[in-house]
Structure 1
Amino acid sequence: MNEILVAGVDTSTQSCKVRVTEARTGRLVRFGKAQHPAGTSVNPMAWWKAFQEASAQAGGLSDVSAISVGGQQHGMVLLDRQGQVIRDALLWNDTRSAPDADDLIIRLAKSKTVEAESTEMENDGPNKDPNSDQDLAMRGKQAWVRAVGSSPVASLTITKVAWVSRVEPDNARAIAAICLPHDWLSWVIAGHGPAADPETEPGLEDLFTDRSDASGTGYYDPAADCYRRDLLAMALPVGMAARVILPKVLGPHQVGAKADPRIAGRDVPGGCIIAPGGGDNAMTALGLAMQVGDVSISLGTSGVAAAVSPVPAYDMSASVTGFADATGHWLPLACTINASRILDAGLAALGTDYDGLAELAKKSSPGAEGITLIPYFDGERTPNRPDAHARLEGMTLANTTRTNLARAFVEGLLCSQRDCLELLKRLGTTVSRILLVGGGAKSPAVRAYAPGILGMDVQLPQPDEYVAIGAARQAAWALTGEEEPPVWSVNIDTTLTGAPCEQVYQQYLRWRG
């Protein structure tokens, strides 16, 4: 039997990875990787060039029957009528739109619709002043959660659109289409944008996306499966929201397009289909074959605790985002801006490497003799403190040692992820299994202390590129047309165990405030 090959693409913040995979079993056949430029604002052409380089490293895609793109969520790509990128994409970790997020929250709170619905909203007590700034903000956040499952923070696409409208009005007036990083790259693979014949139409109507990535925009309701152009209108110049093109939202295994044969599928009869793709968190869940009761904690550039849920999540504290997943379910998650870079900061400060950090931390004790790191180096999303900075608390002349500082950096990272886990539990999320993935999960110190701080055993899947695996699995699913995705094995390297160290988290809570 001839092998049928599919490709999964991970166009992440840091790099592009292309995984050519055998469709039936998920076996890795070839792999390529190319770096993206650093920064929170990037020209999308860099993603296209990295994809081409990674595809070449993977031996080309001429023999691939289906392809899918998983991508960094929330990034804003603006296109003009000719399909040209208007300005550099603002990425998820660009916090310049924090004031715009606050403005959108207050504006919705003040709208007549919210006033009419305010009697239905949760009230924390009988003596609250409905016109106070604090109560107005909470009413606005709750209104956004009811509308789209999430309240605006600087990460979400709608806030970035609002920033462009406020700061770059000429660019805003030029917008003909708005899409996300994975949408744009899928569209280019189909032969549009920089891959297009200059004599052809720009093909903006051919843009497509999926529920998972669309649910991170702030203007798509995943429960109703529809865009909320009335909300998008709050972020655009007057009259534009009705005519701006937004990508078609496809079901979990629909076919979005055919790949340009110059890019993929040239040697495949009928060519290469392009699956819907998805947000990186949803693709990780698909790659890990997560089920209800599973929670993944991913320690990459960002930290993400995500759970598969059979029902939509509406967190009226606006701390958990109610995203969709890549299978037709939902993926409530809490995300921190700071994750593995917390460890990197510790390495730089202490002049050591990952093994050295683990050896230093091992010589300390739980709680680092009273020192706590609040690890908000680049501001923070959970909790929403975009202007915050990291700080060390509880330092004395007696406890300020390299060993205690090493321990505090590791514990600060894990406690911030425990915050996310507790938020999911508060929504009634079942947590029967924790899967720890991402580059930060390779740290010996993280592995040593994760079970104690998270409060239960932790499973370590074999290190792999799970976003790319999830994308490849979706591509194979779209190829088969079956109701369920193909069953691919997920190898668990080990199960981490350890005695609970609740006092570490409680010490963290006291300083976090």
Structure 2
Amino acid sequence: MNIAAGIDLGTQSLKVVLYDYEKKQIAAQASCPLELISKEDGTREQKTDRYDAALKTAFEKLPVDLRSRIQAVGVSGQQHGFVPLDKDGNALYNVKLWNDTSTAEECRILTEAAGGKAEIIKEAANLMLPGFTAPKILWLKNHFPEAWKKLRYILLPHDYINFVLTGNYVMEAGDASGTALFNPSSRTWSQKLCSLIDDGLYDLLPPLIASDKKAGTVSEKASRMLGIPEGIPVSSGGGDNMMGAIGTGTVSDGFLTMSMGTSGTLYGYSDTPIADPEQGLSGFCSSTGGWLPLLCTMNCTVATEQIRALFGLSVADFDTLAEAAPAGAQGVRVLPFFNGERTPNLPKGRASITGLTMTNSNRENICRAAMESAVFALKGGLDAFKKLGFKPKEIRLIGGGAKSPLWRQIAADIMNVPVSVPASEEAAALGAAVQALWCLEGGGAEAIKRLCREHIQLNKEKSAVPGEAAGEYEKAYTDYTEILGKLTPLYTHS
């Protein structure tokens, strides 16, 4: 038995999957929860010492004999987070996360300094949004100048785990393209964007490596801490969406992955750069050598969890109520901006329930509207894909939403595209393990496609195809976008 280990550092937990690549099955898996620091100003942060403890705890839960058989390690991590370290590798401040919206002012400053949105898009194929890393770096410089003076390592969450494993300071194009400091077309750091923050920033950024190369090898220290072999390769890794693309087989044109977790994402592989930042479609690189245009919303299962808690329902009871309501929820609409929002760009956005009347005001409709809102928010990304010539063949659905038969059908009907579900629920961790196997075997563009065909399996019993409700949802989606347009001014005043 030979094992490739996949680590996924998420927002809510750190997970480890041990993948037996000879038998093509997961041999073991473990996880450890993570704490979130939240404040009313939009702050969302975590601590690196919790990452260290979670990594150790998760590995300790795995059988010793399986850990000894690990041949390679790959790491997935939540995108955009800023991990600032000093020269000794100590954290200078908390990790500011992807869903932190406290840096809206820094985004304004950087956009103005660049000469406007068009100039930012030209360099980064993205707008300067609070979710990205660049404004977080400026925030640290402005709010903690003494910490800024000691800054030596600028890492993203997955790169931090790589650093813990290997002691090496490197980054790859996929996750780097989500920093708003990177030019995804040339696959290089942008001197222009870096200089907007500080003239010395460019020289602080890590060297870039190819996606199929190793970030380093497991150090003696990491080997002792985790009980895994010293000297085995650690692949470049990537952001959770990039690893999710591998873990769902989205490594060739035509396939899309839709993740319905805390956040919602829709992304597809492309051999050429694709971006439409004004419509929320970010121009990211993939972690397999191509590009991964992506739309991200900050509120997906957040909406259903908040409504579920409001009514005091179990998950099963929530789904039962939602299923009892008709498609379109009789005109009830939920704007799910509990965390502010990234797409549309409303960091000061707030959630609301609209369309209530004397006849439709019931829990059934509100529950269903919450589920529909998460998919409505992602449908804009599909429309942007189509406008750019992308022809969707199939959506691979992952995340908490994929577990619900009702949500799978709602997704197929609203998107009007067939939906399938990967056999493994841990797409990002499995993707990291497959990338590690790719690195172990020597890399190459065609090799990753072959490996995904061999190792990524679909659960045919969980597929869904568009039904009669697709037409009703076209009208409901139009209604949703009109309501959003009318309420947006409430959230854009300074």
Specify if TM > 0.5.
yes
Name the SS for the 1:331 alignment partner. strand
In structure 2, the partner of 1:218 is: 180
- The residue type paired with residue 9 of structure 1 is I
Determine the C-alpha separation between the residues in 1 that align with 2:155 and 2:395.
Answer: 32
Matches within 5 A, 1:339-358: 339-358=300-319
Q: CA deviation at 1:62?
A: 3.2
2:124 is the counterpart of 1:148: yes
In structure 1, the partner of 2:6 is: 8
Determine the C-alpha separation between the residues in 1 that align with 2:223 and 2:272.
Answer: 37
2:21 is the counterpart of 1:49: no
Indicate conservation of the 8 Å contact 1:24/1:476, yes or no: no
Determine the C-alpha separation between the residues in 2 that align with 1:375 and 1:36.
Answer: 24
In structure 2, the partner of 1:398 is: 359
In structure 1, the partner of 2:262 is: 301
Indicate conservation of the 8 Å contact 1:410/1:445, yes or no: no
Q: CA deviation at 1:12?
A: 0.9
Q: Which sits farther off after the overlay, 483-492 or 143-152?
A: 483-492
1:471 is aligned, of 432, 436, 439, to: 432
Deviations 1:74-132 (A, max 9, x none): 100111122211111101111111111122112111xxxxxxxxxxxxxxxxxxxxxxx
2:461 is the counterpart of 1:507: no
Deviations 1:437-463 (A, max 9, x none): 101221243123222211222112224
Determine the C-alpha separation between the residues in 2 that align with 1:69 and 1:80.
Answer: 22
In structure 1, the partner of 2:74 is: 68
2:214 is the counterpart of 1:255: yes
Determine the C-alpha separation between the residues in 2 that align with 1:295 and 1:328.
Answer: 17
Gaps of 5+ in 2: 38-43, 486-494
Deviations 1:291-327 (A, max 9, x none): 2101111011110000111111232526211111111
Determine the C-alpha separation between the residues in 1 that align with 2:223 and 2:362.
Answer: 55
Deviations 1:403-448 (A, max 9, x none): 2212211111221121222222222222111111101221243123
1:80 is aligned, of 82, 86, 89, to: 86
In structure 1, the partner of 2:247 is: 287
- The residue type paired with residue 68 of structure 1 is G
Determine the C-alpha separation between the residues in 1 that align with 2:424 and 2:22.
Answer: 21
Matches within 5 A, 1:34-433: 34-39=32-37, 40-60=44-64, 61-109=67-115, 140-190=116-166, 192=167, 206-236=168-198, 239-244=199-204, 246-264=205-223, 271-290=231-250, 291-315=252-276, 317=278, 319-433=280-394
Q: CA deviation at 1:262?
A: 4.6
Gaps of 5+ in 1: 110-139, 193-205
Determine the C-alpha separation between the residues in 2 that align with 1:302 and 1:275.
Answer: 26
Name the SS for the 2:271 alignment partner. coil
Indicate conservation of the 8 Å contact 1:148/1:218, yes or no: yes
Name the SS for the 1:263 alignment partner. helix
Indicate conservation of the 8 Å contact 1:98/1:154, yes or no: yes
Cα distance change on mapping 1:362 and 1:184 into 2, 3 Å: closer
Cα distance change on mapping 1:71 and 1:269 into 2, 3 Å: closer
TM-score for both structures, normalised by structure 1: 0.86
Q: Which sits farther off after the overlay, 297-306 or 28-37?
A: 28-37
Name the SS for the 1:185 alignment partner. helix
Cα distance change on mapping 1:309 and 1:381 into 2, 3 Å: same
After the TM superposition, which parts of structure 1 deviate over 4 Å for at least 4 consecutive aligned residues? 265-270
Indicate conservation of the 8 Å contact 2:8/2:14, yes or no: yes
The percent of aligned pairs where both chains have the same amino acid is 30
2:449 is the counterpart of 1:488: no
Kindly name which structure, 1 or 2, has the bigger radius of gyration based on alpha carbons: 1
Cα distance change on mapping 1:482 and 1:104 into 2, 3 Å: closer
Q: CA deviation at 1:489?
A: 3.5
> How many residue pairs align between the two structures?
464
- The residue type paired with residue 296 of structure 1 is T
Cα distance change on mapping 1:102 and 1:449 into 2, 3 Å: same
Indicate conservation of the 8 Å contact 1:312/1:322, yes or no: yes
Indicate conservation of the 8 Å contact 1:62/1:263, yes or no: no
In structure 1, the partner of 2:30 is: 32
Q: Which sits farther off after the overlay, 383-392 or 494-503?
A: 494-503
Name the SS for the 1:256 alignment partner. strand
In structure 2, the partner of 1:449 is: 410
Cα distance change on mapping 1:156 and 1:489 into 2, 3 Å: closer
Indicate conservation of the 8 Å contact 1:10/1:70, yes or no: yes
Indicate conservation of the 8 Å contact 1:151/1:318, yes or no: no
Name the SS for the 1:178 alignment partner. strand
Determine the C-alpha separation between the residues in 2 that align with 1:218 and 1:70.
Answer: 19
Determine the C-alpha separation between the residues in 2 that align with 1:473 and 1:412.
Answer: 33
Determine the C-alpha separation between the residues in 2 that align with 1:425 and 1:105.
Answer: 28
Determine the C-alpha separation between the residues in 2 that align with 1:434 and 1:23.
Answer: 25
Determine the C-alpha separation between the residues in 2 that align with 1:321 and 1:289.
Answer: 20
Determine the C-alpha separation between the residues in 2 that align with 1:361 and 1:314.
Answer: 35
- The residue type paired with residue 11 of structure 2 is T
Q: Which sits farther off after the overlay, 397-406 or 151-160?
A: 397-406
- Report the structure, 1 or 2, having the larger helix content: 2
Indicate conservation of the 8 Å contact 1:306/1:331, yes or no: yes
Cα distance change on mapping 1:172 and 1:270 into 2, 3 Å: closer
Deviations 1:152-202 (A, max 9, x none): 100100010111122222222221221111111111111x4xxxxxxxxxx
Q: Which sits farther off after the overlay, 474-483 or 309-318?
A: 309-318
Indicate conservation of the 8 Å contact 1:63/1:267, yes or no: no
Determine the C-alpha separation between the residues in 1 that align with 2:409 and 2:186.
Answer: 43
Q: CA deviation at 1:382?
A: 0.6
Cα distance change on mapping 1:316 and 1:278 into 2, 3 Å: closer
Determine the C-alpha separation between the residues in 1 that align with 2:227 and 2:302.
Answer: 42
Determine the C-alpha separation between the residues in 1 that align with 2:239 and 2:350.
Answer: 28
CA RMSD between the two structures: 1.9
